Structure 1
């Protein structure tokens, strides 16, 4: 599917200048530890919530390349806004795996329905009951939950031969939010904890994790719903880091423009400053090429030969490069770069927090790639 079909998302993001809006309210979002209402509303209006919603409910059934570009634009102003935007789209894609009646429950009033999720690790207790399940428990790190109308929660389910995991869609009226998000980075994401107390969830609002991992099998399902979760999870979590690194480059350049060397010369004429800018900007560009290639695989690779290990490797290595680029910028930025309220130190905190996510760990990605490479080489 050509990635230009759904270019409307990036155009809308730029038209509404969500990057500037996120930057304008970044300090307030950090202080409140959740997105400013104006930013949260702009993310929905831009089309992130509907990006992967099935067309039958008015959604865009969009591409991953388009999502990458749009999230990166938002991230240039506020990483927290970009993180929530990326996950809002991703959670709509996960919800598209529910049975049709469950999908209708979520999107009966339209596709612009923000959905939060806490699916890794599974938690809580699930009890089968006629027509569905009773769900009780507590889940942590539900990003963007303050502005969500629904949440997807994962719980272990007893099954023959062991346990499996079931994903359940719960409406806002049936869960409680607890103000628990205190973090050094991504402070504005509002990644609070939620609890559910013996809430009934009908069978049609649930799906097994195995079904998510496999992707939808219906031949009429959109391309974005037929690919497995593992192919794109790392990519989606990496996308905000690209925007943050671009924002860090812009913030460093603004600081550098006002600096002079110890000898009174222009800071931009200093050899170390020039090397810092050249290396960091090239690493950011190279990381984008890796992420764009992973997105295009998700959009275009044959469904019977999806390179999950390659996508995991490229997304994780891209984030390693982006963290290194921002780290170099903050170190050369001097004391001014570390002042509270300075965008560069915010981007620096954000990329480090983001890189700690489980989906972006190097060891599992390297192990998966090693196994894939060995198989390709015929090593037994």
Structure 2
């Protein structure tokens, strides 16, 4: 079975489009610039205008923009791989590509009239979102909704042209998505955090804002299979399939890239240690080599999970089908395990390096803090994923042919 899966994966990798590889190459050529700006980005608590310009110029913020509007309309593996590459140098930039960039696909699922207006000024639109809210009031009025309150964790909002927030319909309690122009919201700078500072994930304040019915859709309809906008973009599976598994799995790109970047920086730091520590390094060398090898193996396993997730989601998308219950639970299990593996691999290296890693000049400590913040996201929560999978496994006999993964 393992040989079959590996062969299938290798065939899939070989068949990735030329456009996929060209996109990844465009991200790689900017790594030096993003690495040089990483500390500045953290201090500014926001992606720099220069980085945003580069992302636009190389099409890295248009990967999920529908082709009819001049976007690149790439498949899911291309965006997540571009975000992984970027995160090796600057996890916040990887987050911008992967998480914020994915929001264009949400617009591509909205009614055509909304899509036309969002992309009226071209494909280079940045769409921020916010779903965690507090002290929110949503009232239904003739022709729309009047909303008031604060929404949290809006990554990339400083550079956004449009904003999508969610809230409960006061009539039946279902979750609605409200699309607004960025100039309709107030940004509250409360983003003083321990990691992923450069995402600029600030709060949004809406003060008695009226949103027309035209710009309000049911979240379940928008994220479910065959939403209204899918007929407008018939050649892209991301506008048509059930979207939640794809959105919830985007984190694996920045997480894996961040861990890989930390590993590379650890190796560079250890190689560059001065002669004054030569004796200590020599005595600790066997232990150090063992730790490096174990972390390398753990990251290698994480990469296998990463590719398996990409293969699953891409194949399901191309086939136009939703994931089965088992596939969905396995997906959640594997992405949580991937994240934990990355955290453990880097933790081991940080402990081995000692005080060399605690200074701000060390990129390792920045990667380490960023990784901890990303790992705390609900979509990769260990307990939730493992309990759900374990419960499913207990109810299905392992000899059952349907029980795979």
The aligned runs of 1:112-151 (5 Å cut-off) are 112-120=124-132, 124-151=136-163
Aligned to 2:315: 300
Please show how residues 80-99 of structure 1 align to structure 2 within 5 Å.
Answer: 80-99=92-111
Distance change (3 Å), C-alpha of 1:305 and 1:151: closer
Q: Which moved more, 1:213-222 or 1:146-155?
A: 213-222
Residue 66 (str. 1) matches residue 66 (str. 2) = no
Which string of whole-angstrom CA distances, capped at 9 and with x for unpartnered residues, describes residues 7-47 of structure 1? 132122123x1x22221111111111111221222223332
Q: Which residue number corresponds to residue 365 of structure 1?
A: 385
1:334 CA displacement: 1.9
CA distance in 1, matches of 2:291, 2:261: 15
Aligned match of 2:6: none
- Could you say which residue in structure 2 is the equivalent of 1:50? 62
Match of 2:329 in 1: 309
User: Any conservation in 2 of the 1:256–1:268 contact (CA below 8 Å)?
Assistant: no
How far is the alpha carbon of 1:224 from its aligned partner?
1.5
Equivalent residues in 2 for 1:369-380, closer than 5 Å: 369-374=389-394, 376-377=396-397
Displacement of 1:368 in angstroms is 3.2
Q: Structure 1: how far apart are the matches of 2:194 and 2:363?
A: 14
After superposition, what is the alpha-carbon deviation per residue over 1:331-371, rounded to whole angstroms, capped at 9, x for unaligned? 11121111112100100101001101111101221233235
1:219-234 equivalence runs, <5 A: 220=234, 222-234=236-248
Asked whether the equivalents of residues 130 and 165 of structure 2 are also in contact (C-alpha less than 8 Å), the reply is yes
Q: CA deviation at 1:127?
A: 2.2
- Equivalent of 1:334 in 342, 354, 370: 354
Other structure's SS at 2:169 match: strand
* More displaced stretch, 83-92 vs 123-132: 123-132
Q: Corresponding residue for 1:79?
A: 91
Taking a change above 3 Å as real, the CA distance of residues 276 and 126 of structure 1, as seen in their structure-2 partners, is same
> Counterpart of 2:301?
286
* Paired position in structure 1 for 2:5: none
Change (3 A) 1:332 1:266: closer
**Contact 1:63–1:224 (Cα < 8 Å) also in 2:** yes
Structure 2: segments with no counterpart, 5+ residues: 1-11
Match of 1:240 in 2: 254
Shift in Å, 1:227: 2.6
2:165 to 145, 153, 158: 153
Which of 171, 179, 184 is matched with 1:169 structurally?
179
Question: SS of the residue aligned with 2:179?
Answer: strand
Give the superposition deviation at 1:158: 2.1
Aligned to 1:256: 270
Report the alpha carbon displacement of residue 134 of structure 1 after superposing the two structures with TM: 1.9
Assess, with a 3 A threshold, how the Cα gap between structure 1 residues 104 and 263 changes in structure 2: closer, same or farther: closer
Match of 1:12 among 3, 26, 31: 26
Deviation at 1:131, TM superposition (A): 2.8
Residue 45 and residue 334 in structure 1: after superposition, are their counterparts in 2 closer, same or farther (change >3 A)? same
Task: Quickly say closer, same or farther: Cα 1:186–1:42, change in 2 above 3 A.
Answer: same
Please, what is the CA RMSD of the aligned residues? Answer: 2.4
Question: Of 200, 207, 217, which residue of structure 2 is paired with 1:190?
Answer: 200
| 1:320 matched to 2:340 | yes
With over 3 angstroms needed to count, the CA separation of the structure-2 counterparts of 1:85 and 1:185, relative to structure 1, is same
Relative to the length of structure 1, the TM-score reads 0.91
Partner of residue 271 from structure 1, selected from 269, 278, 286: 286
Which residue does the alignment assign to 1:3? 16
Structure 1 residue runs of 5 or longer lacking an equivalent are none
Give the direction of change, closer, same or farther, for the CA distance of 1:238–1:20 in structure 2 (3 Å limit). same
Which of 359, 365, 369 is matched with 1:349 structurally?
369
Match of 1:215 in 2: 225
How far, CA to CA, are the matches of 2:302 and 2:291 in structure 1? Answer: 16
Going from structure 1 to structure 2, the CA distance change for 1:29 and 1:262 (only over 3 Å counts) comes to: closer
Say if 1:275 and 1:97 are closer, same or farther in 2 by CA, change over 3 A: same
Greater mean deviation of Cα atoms: 243-252 or 196-205 = 196-205
- Point out the more displaced range, 333-342 or 346-355: 333-342
The alpha-carbon distance between structure 1 residues 6 and 124, as it changes in their structure 2 partners (threshold 3 A), is farther
Q: Which moved more, 1:177-186 or 1:213-222?
A: 213-222
Within 2, Cα distance between the matches of 1:331 and 1:294? 30
C-alpha distance in 2 between matches for 1:116 and 1:261: 49
Conserved? CA contact 1:87–1:236, under 8 Å: yes
SS at match of 1:264: helix
- Structure 1: distance between partners of 2:152 and 2:322: 35
Change (3 A) 1:85 1:263: closer
Contact between 1:268 and 1:274, CA under 8 Å: does it hold in 2?
no
